[in-house]
C-alpha cells in the first residue's frame, strides 16, 4: 500500500486540514492522490479552502515530511485504516467529522457491538468499582468496551473488560508511540493484544489538551452508546455525552450519591433524560443485545451478601460493611469489639476474601 498510503498520511498532516475539510476534499477529488496532484488554480476554486490552507497543500516541505511519517508508522508497527477501507468502523464512518485515517495497534473488527464507558479521572472507589463491573459484564455478554485509557474510570473499564476476556478498544488523544498516562503502559499492551488501541493522530503527536475533546468524538462515534460513570459538572465526560447526542448515540448514566461532586454531572444527565443504569439490562435493551432467557448471572447489583460461615463477630462487621465502607475505628466503636481484636479479625476476613482494605484503614465488603 506504500505509495498509496503516503498521500493519505500527507493529507492527514497538512495544517488546516481537519476531518471535515479532508472529507470535503475527498468528496471532490475522490482520492488523496488526486489532491496531491491537483493544481493550485483547481484548489483555489473550492470555497472551503483558505489561501493559507492552499499554500500548505502545495508546500513541498510538508510533502517531504510524509516520508518520515510513514517510516515512523512502520517502525512502530502501526496499522493504518483509511475511511475508504472496509475495515473502517461502520458507526464511526457515519459521523459528521469522521477522521479520514485511523492509526491502529491491535485488531479492529468491522461489525461489533460497542459501548463506550467514560468518566472522571479522579473517581471514587464506587465509581471505579462500577466501571470495572460494567466493563466486565458487557464483555461477558460479547459487547466490545470502548474507552479512552485515561486514569480512573477509563482504565478500570478497560481492565474490567480484559478480566472478562472480552474485546476492548482504547481511543487515544496522542500518537500511538506515546503511552499516556505513562503508568498505563502494561494496560496498553494488554489492550493491543485483546482489542485495539486507536488514534487519529500521527505518531509523534503529543497528548496536548486540545486533542482530548476531539478524541472524545471518536469514542462516542465508534460506539452504539456511551455509559457515563461519575463526572463532575465540568467534565470531559460530559463533552463525550454531548457528542454522543449529536451523533445520535444512546447516553447512559450511572447514578451516584447526590452529595458527591463526582456525581453531579451524571445525575444532571439523568435529569436531562439520559438513560439511568441500574442494571446491565438497561444498557442491553437499547443496543438490542439479548441475553438468553435463562442467563441470569450477569447483574450489576449484587444480591444481599451471604454471611454463611461467619462467626458472630464477623457477622456484625460484615453487616456494618454492607451499608458502606467503614474506617476501622468506627467499625470497632459500632460493633463494640476492641481495636486489637478488630485488627486481627479484619486481617483474617481479608485473607479469606470477605473484606478488602482500602488505603487509610478503611474496609469494605468484597463481592
Partner 1 sequence: MLSKIKSCGLVGIDGYIVEVETDISSGIPAFEIVGLGDTAVRESKERVRAAIKNTGLEFPVRRITINLAPANQRKEGSAFDLSIALGILTATEQVNNPALDKYLFIGELSLDGEVKPVNGILPMAICALNAGIENIVLPIANADEAAVVRGLNVLPIRNISEIINHLNGEKPIDRYYIDIEGIFSSNINHELDFADVKGQANVKRALEVAASGAHNCIMVGSPGSGKTMVAKRLPSILPSMTFEEALEVTKIHSIAGILPQKTSLITNRPFRSPHHTISDISLIGGGKYPRPGEISLAHYGVLFLDEVPEFSKDALEVLRQPLEDGVVTISRVNASLSYPAKAMLVLAANPCKCGNFLDNTKQCTCTPKQVQQYLGKLSGPLLDRIDIHIEVASVKYKELESDKEEEKSALIRERVNKARKIQLDRYKGLKIFSNSQLQPAMINKFCRLDDKGKELLRSAFDRLGLSARAHNRILKVARTIADMEESGEIKLAHLAEAIQYRSLDRRFWNG
Applying CB under 8 A, the residues found at the interface with partner 1 are: 122, 151, 181-183, 261, 327-329, 332-333, 339-348, 350-351, 353, 357-362
Contact (Cβ atoms closer than 8 angstroms) between residue 303 and residue 275: no
Cα 319 from Cα 131, distance rounded (Å): 25
CB-CB neighbours of 295 under 10 Å = 10
User: Least distance to partner 1 from the beta carbon of 220, Å?
Assistant: 25
Cα 322 from Cα 88, distance rounded (Å): 46
Indicate the residue among 72 and 151 with the shorter CB distance to partner 1: 151
Residues 6+ apart with CB under 8 A from 262: 120, 122, 123, 124, 127, 230, 231, 232, 256
User: Least distance to partner 1 from the beta carbon of 348, Å?
Assistant: 6
161 upstream amide cis, omega within 30 of 0: no
User: Least distance to partner 1 from the beta carbon of 322, Å?
Assistant: 19
Indicate the residue among 98 and 345 with the shorter CB distance to partner 1: 345
Indicate the residue among 226 and 346 with the shorter CB distance to partner 1: 346
User: Least distance to partner 1 from the beta carbon of 180, Å?
Assistant: 11
User: Least distance to partner 1 from the beta carbon of 366, Å?
Assistant: 11
Cα 116 from Cα 137, distance rounded (Å): 13
Indicate the residue among 110 and 122 with the shorter CB distance to partner 1: 122
Indicate the residue among 70 and 337 with the shorter CB distance to partner 1: 337
Per the structure block, which three cell numbers stand in for 95? 459521523
Amino acid at each position: 500500500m506504500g505509495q498509496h498510503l503516503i498521500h493519505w498520511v500527507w493529507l492527514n498532516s497538512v495544517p488546516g486540514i481537519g476531518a471535515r475539510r479532508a472529507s470535503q476534499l475527498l468528496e471532490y477529488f475522490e482520492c488523496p492522490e488526486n489532491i496531491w496532484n491537483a493544481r493550485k488554480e483547481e484548489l483555489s476554486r473550492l470555497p472551503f479552502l483558505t489561501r493559507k490552507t492552499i499554500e500548505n497543500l502545495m508546500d513541498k516541505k510538508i510533502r517531504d515530511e510524509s516520508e518520515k511519517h510513514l517510516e515512523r508508522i512502520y517502525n512502530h508497527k502501526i496499522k493504518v485504516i483509511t475511511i475508504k477501507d472496509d475495515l473502517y468502523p461502520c458507526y464511526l464512518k457515519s459521523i459528521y467529522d469522521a477522521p479520514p485515517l485511523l492509526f491502529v495497534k491491535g485488531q479492529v473488527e468491522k461489525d461489533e457491538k460497542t459501548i463506550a464507558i467514560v468518566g472522571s479521572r479522579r473517581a471514587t472507589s464506587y465509581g471505579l468499582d462500577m466501571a470495572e463491573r460494567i466493563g466486565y459484564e458487557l464483555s461477558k455478554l460479547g459487547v466490545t468496551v470502548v474507552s479512552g485509557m485515561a486514569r480512573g474510570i477509563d482504565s478500570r473499564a478497560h481492565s474490567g473488560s480484559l478480566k472478562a476476556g472480552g474485546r476492548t478498544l482504547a481511543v487515544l488523544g496522542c500518537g500511538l508511540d506515546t503511552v499516556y498516562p505513562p503508568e498505563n503502559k502494561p494496560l496498553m499492551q494488554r489492550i493491543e493484544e485483546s482489542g485495539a488501541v486507536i488514534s487519529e493522530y500521527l505518531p509523534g503527536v503529543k497528548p496536548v489538551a486540545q486533542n482530548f475533546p476531539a478524541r472524545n468524538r471518536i469514542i462516542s462515534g465508534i460506539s452504539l452508546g456511551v455509559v457515563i460513570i461519575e463526572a463532575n459538572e465540568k467534565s470531559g465526560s460530559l463533552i463525550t455525552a454531548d457528542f454522543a447526542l449529536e451523533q445520535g448515540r444512546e447516553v447512559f448514566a450511572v447514578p451516584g450519591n447526590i452529595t458527591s461532586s463526582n456525581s453531579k454531572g451524571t445525575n444532571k444527565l439523568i435529569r436531562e433524560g439520559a438513560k439511568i443504569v441500574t442494571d446491565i439490562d438497561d444498557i442491553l435493551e437499547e443496543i438490542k443485545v439479548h441475553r438468553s432467557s435463562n442467563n441470569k448471572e450477569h447483574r450489576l447489583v449484587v444480591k444481599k451478601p451471604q454471611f454463611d460461615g461467619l462467626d458472630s463477630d464477623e457477622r456484625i462487621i460484615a453487616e456494618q460493611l454492607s451499608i458502606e465502607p467503614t474506617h476501622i475505628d468506627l467499625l470497632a466503636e459500632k460493633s463494640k469489639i476492641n481495636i486489637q481484636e478488630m485488627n486481627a479479625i479484619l486481617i483474617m476476613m481479608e485473607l479469606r476474601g470477605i473484606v478488602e482494605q482500602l488505603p487509610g484503614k478503611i474496609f469494605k465488603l468484597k463481592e
